[in-house]
Each structure stands twice: as structure tokens, then as C-alpha cells.
Amino acid sequence: MKRVRIYVSGLVQGVFYRANAQKEAGRLKVKGYIRNLPDGRVEAVIEGEEICVNKMIQWCEVGPKHARVDKVEVISEQPKDEFEDFSIR
């Protein structure tokens, strides 16, 4: 299991990007959340099987509206399985 925090910039604010991210997370069977940040970026915390998390990171880079991943932080603690699904906050 892997857990990461991703910061994405570009045309990512609003429901369209977050809703599409939620659909992709469901397809990849990863858990976590995504939320808008005041600086215009979005933050996503994702946990799941390493290959699925890595695919979700790739999706965030090339997802709708020409997004750009600014930073990926691997969270050192083990996934807590605290998320029931991938939610929009």
C-alpha cells in the first residue's frame, strides 16, 4: 500500500476536474480525497496499491484541462484505510 499527497495546478479549480478525478479514482480503486486550495491549486490525498496510486498520479498530470502536478509527497506513515472512497471536499 502507498499513500501520497499531490498538489496540482493549471485549470483544475471547480467541479469538472474534481468530478473527473473522483471517477478515475473509482476506476483505479484508490481511496482518498481532493479539495480546492486558496492558491488555485488542488490537493489530493490518495492511498491504495502502489501501481494504482502511480496511475492516479499520472492521470492528475494529463487529466482534463491541461493540469500540471507541482509536487508529490509520499506520506511516510502506513495507509490507515481511513477513507471509504475518493471524496470531493
Sign of CA dihedral 26, 27, 32, 37: negative
Residues in contact with 83: Cβ distance below 8 Å, sequence separation at least 6, in sequence order:
31, 32, 33, 45, 47
Beta-strand relationship, 68-74 and 86-88: unpaired
| Catalytic annotation, residues | 18, 36
